Structure 1
Amino acid sequence: MLRRLIVIVTAAILFSSSLTLAESKKPKPVDEFPPSPLEITTPDPLLPHLPKDKQPLTLEERQNLEPALDALNQEAAAKLQAGDQVAAFEIWNRELRLRRFLGSLAEVQALSRVAAIAWNQNDSPEVQYITQRLQAIQKQAQSQKTTAQIDLELWRSLGQAYQNVRAVKLAVEAYDQVLLVVRQQKNPTAVVEILKTIGELHLSWFDYRKAAPIYEELLGLATSQGERVNEVTYLQRLAYIYEQTNQPQQSLNVLNKLAEISVNENNLTEIPELKLAIASDYESLAKKDPNLLLEAFKNYQEAYTTAWQLKEYVRAADALQKLIALYRSQGQTDEALQASEILVQIQAQAANFYGMMQAYDQIGQLYLERKEFPQALTAFQKGLELAKQLKHEEAYFTGQIEKVSKANL
């Protein structure tokens, strides 16, 4: 028994020792992030003797290198088209390593081109390598003093390259540098162009808070220059931004300007939608100032009447439905019933039988609230007729009719 125990203990010790030894000899984990292929420094056959002290290439060296790099780009594109993505990016990385010897601008433009391809091919490592290299170039550019023109062109290219790798924050930083320069140059056309780019970047990533001041500035510039088309465009952008950020007062200011422009230009087709949005903003503001409810009612009515005049029955029905909901919230049942009867007519004009059925249901519910059972029964019966035609919600209307009939006994 003792011998057996000794054997078991000895085996356990040996097993434990072997585990310890195995752990000590466990291979080191492979580097999770291998070095970037853009940072390889091995001499290249196209440039066997690297320029010393980072001196620029001579004119002759550039004239020899540029067409060779263009050929590499074409070769890589052919490989990708043939389905060999790995080989294609190996060639492009070689091209990019050599492009840096043609200067920062040439390199950034090439990085931008390849970045767009890498993004479309879902090549995340390549996108990461290019982004890292762009950041290194940006850091270097920030530390160097260059002429305004060269600096401007480089930063524009950096902005575009960052856009191609979807690095929005970095793209905005680059375009901010461009904006600084064009402001100093008092170049209003360039200022507008860059502001629009920055604004669109913020909107593309739903950063409405940062987009707002950009479009406010663009609006001010367009208004001062009398550029009506651009003014309307920026007002529409701001209306959308204020809606998304739940700023009804700012939204109201913008929408009223849009409505004023539409009236002045006799563009009535825009009025119903604008009046609906204006009324909705007044409803929101009325939560703190109930006096503004009158403005909400007024604008819903204007949205309805204008849409009716334009024979835009869907829009008219939408406005009436909003108006009915507002009447009901204020306990104005008579007004809600009158509007609901009109709603039935509008839905009939629009040949919207489902909408008619819902309107009759709404009328029935309003009469039920007033305990006027015969009128409620009539509304639900009309709703059932439409439900049978549509083969939809028949059981619901049948149930409502039974309920009303029992209540009316």
Structure 2
Amino acid sequence: MLRRLILIVTTAILFSSSMTLAETKKPQPPDKFPPSPLEITTPDPLLPRLPKNKQPLTLEEQQNLEPALDALNQEATAKLQAGDQVAAFEIWNRELRLRRFLGSLAEVQALSRVGAIAWKQNDPQEVQYITQRLQAIQKQAQSQKKTAQTDLELWRSLAQAYQNVRSLKQAVEAYNQVLPVVREQKNATALVEMLKTIGELHLSWFDYRKAAPIYEELLSFATSQGERVNEVTYLQQLAEIYEQTSQPQQSLNVLNKLAGIYANENNLTKIPDLKLAIASNYESLAKKDPNLLLEAFKNYQEAYTTAWQLRQYVRAGEALQKLIALYRSQGQTDEALQASEILVQIQAQSVNFYGMMQAYDQIGQLYVERKEFPQALTAFQKGLELAQQLKHQEAYFTGQIKKISNANL
């Protein structure tokens, strides 16, 4: 009994001691991420001296350092060409650390160059290091007051560097710092190029709403200068933007301008597509204003007739399908039937047997709605003949025929 008691007490003491040790032992901190190689502060033998109190190198010292850095770039390029990517970026990182002693602009331009290489070589860690350094320079630039021209050149370089490492949102932010200065300079060519760059960056992020005012400004400029080719390009871009953002009224404004330009130039080949898009927008707007349905009908009809004249049978068929659906939604069965009969002819003209089969099915359904079963039966039988040739939907048409035949018994 005594031995058992001693054993229990001993066990309790050991357990208590282990708990105490466990409580007093501090958890080990997780391994830290390795520091960016661009932030290493070890003195470099290429530096003539270690700048004190953040004093920059003298102009003579910078001029002496620059050729050595260019040599590092060449050495890194040679290493990469030889297949030693790790060594190449070690050398480039050393170059980038030293470039900052030549000033922010020189450093950003070097970061931009190496960043483009890192992206091309699919080196995400290096891209991250460079992006972080660009962000630090940007933050510093925002806190300092510089002359407009110096500021412009630095922000341009920052924007390009961000583009090279695919930090597109930050590239836009940088360009937005430059844009007011470019506007003040009254340099139309530079302004247009910058707006185009910003617009393209917004579109690459699918940020259509921010892209819209940029392309509206570009359109206004092209129109005022009589630049017809650019005007059409920007109108087409805006049409896509407003379609993506579901803004039918703005889309209509743009599409009608395009249609007017093509009509004046007698470029009718593009009219059917435009009329289809215009009609679709009117149909959307008609949900709030039913009076606009007349415009939808009108533009679908114009799309069909123009496409037919141009022998664009696929487009003509598409326009008729839209027109038939609109007729049916308004309960205009007679008009829908007439359009469906024309659709059969168009599909035959374009040797689209599948389209013909679908058109006969549509005609059959419309006759069923009117309870004109003999005509419906004829339509489904013609559809079955095509289905048998295509070896597709035979059971469906057979079922429709059987259903009508049983109804007439």
- TM bucket (normalised to shorter chain) is over 0.9
Matching residue of 1:27: 28
Question: In structure 2, how many angstroms separate the alpha carbons of the residues matched to 1:81 and 1:226?
Answer: 49
The alpha-carbon deviation at position 144 of structure 1 amounts to 2.9
Q: Deviations over 1:60-102 (max 9, x none)?
A: 5444433332333333334444544333322221111111122
1:365 alignment counterpart: 365
CA distance 1:396–1:144, change in 2 (3 Å)? same
> How do 1:143-154 residues align onto structure 2 when only pairs under 5 Å count?
143-154=143-154
Q: CA deviation at 1:121?
A: 3.6
Query: 1:118 — aligned with what?
Result: 118
Q: Is the 8 A contact 1:156 1:175 kept in 2?
A: yes
Q: Does 1:130 align with 2:127?
A: no
| CA–CA distance in structure 2, aligned partners of residues 309 and 16 of structure 1 | 96
Partner SS for 1:160: helix
| Contiguous gaps of at least 5 residues in structure 1 | none
The answer to which of 33-42 and 59-68 deviates more is 59-68
Range with greater deviation from structure 2 (191-200 or 382-391): 382-391
In structure 2, the CA distance between the partners of 1:376 and 1:47, relative to structure 1 (3 Å rule), is same
> C-alpha distance in 2, partners of 1:178/1:395?
67
Cα displacement string for residues 234-290 of structure 1 (whole angstroms, at most 9, x for unaligned residues):
111111111111111111111100100110111111100110010001001111111
Aligned to 1:192: 192
Give the % identical residues.
87
What is the alpha-carbon distance in structure 1 between the residues aligned to residue 317 and residue 13 of structure 2? 85
Rounded to whole Å, the distance in 2 between the matches of 1:403 and 1:62 is: 92
Do the aligned partners of 1:275 and 1:300 also contact (CA within 8 Å) in 2? yes
Match of 2:139 in 1: 139
Which residue of the partner structure matches residue 249 of structure 1? 249
Q: How does 1:148-163 map to 2 (within 5 A)?
A: 148-163=148-163
Quote the Cα distance in structure 1 between the aligned partners of 2:252 and 2:386.
40
Counterpart CA distance in 2 for 1:201 and 1:3 is 82
Summarize the Cα distance change of 1:350–1:92 in structure 2 as closer, same or farther, 3 Å threshold.
same
CA distance in 2 between partners of 1:219 and 1:40 (Å): 49
Deviations 1:104-153 (A, max 9, x none): 11211111122223233443332222122112212222233333322212
Compared CA separation, residues 206 and 49, structure 1 to 2 (3 A): same
Deviates more, 1:88-97 or 1:76-85: 76-85
TM-score under structure 2 length normalisation: 0.93
> Is residue 2:90 matched to residue 1:90?
yes
Counterparts of 1:132 and 1:272 in 2: how far apart (Å)?
51
- Matched with 2:385 is 385
Partners of 1:147 and 1:209 in 2: CA distance: 33
Aligned CA distance change for structure 1 residues 369 and 36 (closer, same or farther; 3 Å): same
1:230 aligns with 2:233: no
In 2, distance between residues paired with 1:44 and 1:256? Answer: 65
State the one-letter code of the partner of 2:377.
L
* Aligned-pair CA distance for 1:6: 5.8
Match runs of 1:37-56 below 5 Å = 37-47=37-47, 49-56=49-56
Equivalent residue, structure 2, for 1:240:
240
- 1:395, distance to aligned residue in structure 2 (A): 1.5
Q: What is the CA deviation profile of residues 143-172 of structure 1, one whole-angstrom value per residue up to 9, with x for unaligned ones?
A: 333333222121111111112222233211
Cα separation, 1, equivalents of 2:402 and 2:315: 34
Change over 3 Å in CA distance of 1:4–1:91 after alignment to 2: farther
Distance 1:404 1:142, change over 3 A: same
Q: How far has the Cα of 1:19 moved from its partner?
A: 5.7
Equivalent residue pairs, number: 408
Change (3 A) 1:139 1:401: same
Which aligned pairs between 1:230-309 and structure 2 lie closer than 5 A? Answer: 230-309=230-309
Q: 2:80 and 2:17 mapped to 1: Cα distance?
A: 53
Farther off after superposition, 92-101 or 82-91: 82-91
Q: Distance in 2 between matches of 1:247 and 1:344?
A: 34
Give the corresponding residue for 1:105: 105
Q: 2:211 matched to which residue of 1?
A: 211
Cα 1:79–1:377 change in 2 (3 A) is farther
The residue matched to 2:145 in structure 1 has which SS?
coil
Q: How far apart in 2 are the matches of 1:9 and 1:355?
A: 92
What is the CA-CA distance between 1:342 and the residue it aligns to? 1.0
2: CA distance between counterparts of 1:158 and 1:246?
34
| Pair 1:109–1:5, CA change in 2 (3 A) | farther
Q: For residue 408 of structure 1, what is the amino acid of its counterpart?
A: N
> Please, what TM-score do these two structures have when normalized by structure 1?
0.93
Q: Deviations over 1:360-400 (max 9, x none)?
A: 11111111111211211111111122112222112221212
Distance 1:78 1:345, change over 3 A: farther
SS at match of 2:44: coil
Flag the 1:5–1:168 CA change in 2: closer, same or farther, 3 A.
farther
Task: Please say if residues 374 and 408 of structure 1, whose CA atoms lie closer than 8 Å, have aligned partners that are also in contact.
Answer: no
Letter in 1 for 2:29: K
**Is the CA contact 2:100–2:107 (under 8 Å) kept in the aligned structure 1?**
yes
Distance 1:185 1:236 in 2: 29
CA contact (8 A) 2:48 2:61 kept: no
Over aligned residue pairs, what C-alpha RMSD do you find?
2.1
| Aligned AA (2:291) | N
The corresponding residue for 2:71 is 71
> What is the CA distance between 1:14 and its match in structure 2?
2.8
Once the two structures are superposed, residues 43-69 of structure 1 have per-residue CA deviations (whole angstroms, 9 ceiling, x without a partner) of 122225233444444555444433332
Cα pair distance change 1:399/1:10, threshold 3 Å: farther
Query: How many angstroms does 1:195 deviate by?
Result: 1.0
